Structure 1
Amino acid sequence: MISDPYHDRESIDELLKHYNNLRNGGSGIFLEEEAFEKIIDYYDEQEEISKALEAAETAIEYFPFSAPLLIRKADLLLATRKYREALELLERAELFDARDINLYILKTDAYLAMDKHEQAVELLEKAVASFEGEEKIELLFELADVYDDYEEFDKVFDCLKVILEEDATNEEALYKICFWTDFTGRNEESIKLHRAIIEEHPFSELAWFNLAAAYQGLKLYEKSIDAYQYALAIDEKFDYAYRNIGDAYLRLRKYKEAIEALEKVLELSKPEEVIYEAIGHCYDHLKNYAQARFHYRKASHLNPDDSKLYYKIACTYYNEGQYGSAIKQLESALKIHRLQAEYNLLMGECKLQMNEIKEAVQFLSTAVRVRPKNISGWEALIRCLYTAEFYTEAKQQAQAALGHTNNKAVFLYYLSAILFAMNKSKEALLYLEKALSTTPKHLRKFIQLNPSILQNPHVVDLIAQYKKGRR
């Protein structure tokens, strides 16, 4: 609105009263262009698009050369999906004011709605070259969005890079380019860009964070930790820096340092399942199974439908030899995902440890059925059958395992051990010889299955002969 005493006093209700009087042919106070804009905005905010369009049309009758009013009407036409009409109005508006960036933004929206991606890109690229400062940056963001919509992701990164070269402290661009660096894998470019930004703006915590994230993307974890430390020195409450530095320490297997950083995340932000799970993972590797369970349970309370967390708790119990407690957790996991191979495998191992052979075989059979190419599932099933002295079944499963795993040598060893147990020594020695010539490193699994096999002189001679031949 223009600043005169009358307009300063008028409320929107009074403006609408004068506007309606004008439309009905009555005499009244002349409405300025800004007053019409206020009326159009009012109807638009009330989601009365047809009335907003009427107001825009009336306004244009009085101000036919007003680019802002033409642009405002085009915006409303876009909302009603009248794309061609909107474009025609925008062409008219451009004759009166080609420097209004809303022209280009709305034209872009129209082209995209009409699936004219190339025209939208061409328009914005020309516009970017014609503007400077904040308007250029706004158009670059618009262009980045267009590239994103059409999955030209490297060009999104390029746009953000140009924005930061224009305005090194633009927070929106700094936030976005971190994601797109990771997505496109252009970490080296990001490092170069953010080093340049830091030279000019050494106290930009976002620039330090992005530099650290780029190092992390290249698996240069020590360098990433150093950069995150600078970000935290500038902003000690930067929770995402603590989150990422925790991940970097975890990758370096520095679990104590990772726990310290991740606990800081819990102090600074809302508790998250993924953070509790990560802390649990660290304690797991430190063999502090009680603390691992505590944090896995915290994560589980936040997401009780995540079967993986019950499985991880079960693993901690299994590692402590508490097989009954592990089974209870696995029962919860299997209620959610009955056919998850890992859950069935561990349940089978627990049942085997508790000498519940029949149930162990059932769970292990499910594991190999679900994932027939998984070696550990077959190994567990064959060991279980061997331990229970079900040699015929064990032999069948060892032969099946060879077929499903492209003749992995470990099953040749198992087959040999089974044949020895069945008193088929000649055949057993043939398989042992074949296994030794294929993969000698699995000999220990053959011996673990039955340590007393080393009392068999034929076995000892064959192993000695093979070792001698290898020298």
Structure 2
Amino acid sequence: MNENFEDRDEVLDIVRRFEQMLSSNEPVFFDLADFENIIDHYTSNTQYDKALQACEAAIALYPFSTELLIDRSQVLAMKGEYTAAADQIENVALLDPDNPDVAVTRGIIATQKGLFSEAVAYFLSAVERFPERDDIHFNLGLAYQSWQKYKSAAKHYKQSLRLNSDNDVAVQELLYCLEVSDRLEKNLEFFRRFTDDDPYSAIAWYNLGQAYFRAGKFDDAISAFDYALLIDAKFYEAHGYLASTYVSLERYRKAIEEFELSYEPGNPTPEALCNIGECHEKLAEWDKARRFYQKAIDLDATMDEAWFGIGIVLIAQNRAFEAIHFFRKAVALYDEGLEYWMALAAAEYQVGNIVSAIEAYDKATQVAPDNKDGWLNWSIILYEQGNFDGAIDLMRNAVEIQPAEAELHYRLCAYLLAAGRYREAYETLENALVLDFDKHRLLFDYFPELESQKALARLIEQYRK
């Protein structure tokens, strides 16, 4: 097995022992390196409260360790406790003024506070003295990325990975920066070079697979993940990504096989179970889908995707009334989910809960005002209730937010015609025809009787190219 995975298993074992110590309240010995690993594990998983708890436990045992005091300052900064973080690092600076981590920590605090040019200056001064430290380049990348300077961020993430290719967070951030700046395709060679340099590195193949996956080159991604798994069959994350690649290709049976290998035997993760549920859902295997979604919820009751999944399964089985409970649970757990609000609104409408449906569409348009379907579906309810003015006002609001969306203009025109407001309707129609002439058929899809209106036909003909 690759040495890195042995290291990773060791770290997880140390973290488990630390958590057992906390729950049993019985003292267990950890050396300084153990504590560093525990703190790193928590911070890389953004579990800052646990990281701070580990810092406090470590400092109680090793009160004179500047490394631990620096860790504590960095964790405080990540938690947003900037004053305490700054006080801590200034105390360290008095004890050890030449310590490069003083500049790094000041940079982390500045990044967290949004003072990006100040942060970059701190990190650059640290890089000058210690160009071989991957973590400094990584932090420089984060500062530039937060500053929305994606090219500079990518440059430093790349350097960080050249020095330490095991940093999966650096891989994710680099891929994000390359995607945002439309440079992913051009940079695939960067990831390929690692596999050329070390063809027996599972991490190198895994990283290349992720790059291909993000670039939409799914067959290449499958090959790369397969190589990673040939080198290390227990590389659970690679199984997970390979499964996601099969999902993208709609090969759900293969995806299920890989998701089942994406965790330690007998120790499934709620994410894997939820993903398996979704694959069964795509295969219209409703009972199996529901069973796996429920297993995910049993392991983690806060898994909104699984609650939503059960709702979708019930809708497919024409059980909208039961589905509402599950959709409501999903939006309670994650109220920024447009898909959740749209599904809840549709289910409420289906069972005749008009007021609840309108409230859910209202939330959907707040969450994603640039999604036209929320506005359209909401307006249909108002129109069907005979509230023409309400439907018109809603569409005017939508058009203001998305002036280039022709479908909204056509729908507004239809409502104005229905309300007998012809002059406004024709003005609106002219705007719609200019934006997208071909979509004028939508008008007759909404109201077939309009095809017989001669004035309308004449206006449309004027704009025919």
For this structure pair, what is the TM-score category when the shorter chain's length is used for normalisation?
A: 0.5 to 0.7
Which residue is 1:39 aligned to? none
Contact 1:412 1:434 in 2 (8 A): yes
Give distance in 2, aligned partners of 1:222 and 1:419.
Answer: 51
Question: Percent identity at matched positions?
Answer: 23
Structure 1 residue ranges without an equivalent (≥5): 1-43, 51-78, 88-105, 126-139, 164-172
1:175 aligns with 2:176: no
1:457 aligns with 2:452: yes
| Match among 286, 289, 294 for residue 297 of structure 1 | 294
How far apart are residue 466 of structure 1 and its match?
A: 4.3
Give distance in 2, aligned partners of 1:252 and 1:403.
Answer: 38
Contact 1:181 1:190 in 2 (8 A): no
Give distance in 2, aligned partners of 1:260 and 1:81.
Answer: 54
1:158 aligns with 2:159: yes
Which residue is 1:195 aligned to? 196
Q: Secondary structure at the match of 2:262?
A: helix
| Match among 255, 260, 264 for residue 257 of structure 2 | 260
Q: Deviations over 1:235-294 (max 9, x none)?
A: 333322211211222233333322221122246473223222333333444444444433
Contact 1:391 1:421 in 2 (8 A): yes
How far apart are residue 86 of structure 1 and its match?
A: 6.5
| Higher Cα Rg, which structure | 1
1:360 aligns with 2:357: yes
How far apart are residue 232 of structure 1 and its match?
A: 2.3
| Match among 342, 347, 350 for residue 347 of structure 2 | 350
Give distance in 1, aligned partners of 2:284 and 2:229.
Answer: 30
1:244 aligns with 2:241: yes
Structure 2 residue ranges without an equivalent (≥5): 1-58, 66-88, 108-121, 144-152, 176-186
| Match among 415, 420, 436 for residue 418 of structure 1 | 415
Q: Secondary structure at the match of 2:308?
A: helix
Which residue is 1:21 aligned to? none
Q: Secondary structure at the match of 1:175?
A: coil
Give distance in 1, aligned partners of 2:308 and 2:161.
Answer: 42
How far apart are residue 225 of structure 1 and its match?
A: 0.9
1:384 aligns with 2:381: yes
Instruction: Give me the TM-score of the superposition, normalised by structure 1.
Output: 0.60
How far apart are residue 216 of structure 1 and its match?
A: 3.2
Q: Secondary structure at the match of 2:301?
A: coil
Contact 2:123 2:139 in 1 (8 A): no
Give distance in 2, aligned partners of 1:373 and 1:465.
Answer: 29
1:205 aligns with 2:195: no
Contact 2:246 2:252 in 1 (8 A): yes
For 2:257, give the aligned amino acid: E
1:277 aligns with 2:274: yes
For 1:194, give the aligned amino acid: T
Give distance in 2, aligned partners of 1:182 and 1:423.
Answer: 55
Name the CA shift for 1:361/1:84 in 2 (closer, same or farther; >3 Å): closer
Which residue is 1:404 aligned to? 401
How far apart are residue 387 of structure 1 and its match?
A: 1.9
Which residue is 1:232 aligned to? 229
Name the CA shift for 1:113/1:362 in 2 (closer, same or farther; >3 Å): closer
For 1:458, give the aligned amino acid: Q
How far apart are residue 350 of structure 1 and its match?
A: 2.0
Q: Secondary structure at the match of 1:345?
A: helix
Give distance in 2, aligned partners of 1:119 and 1:402.
Answer: 51
Which residue is 2:310 aligned to? 313
Name the CA shift for 1:156/1:428 in 2 (closer, same or farther; >3 Å): closer
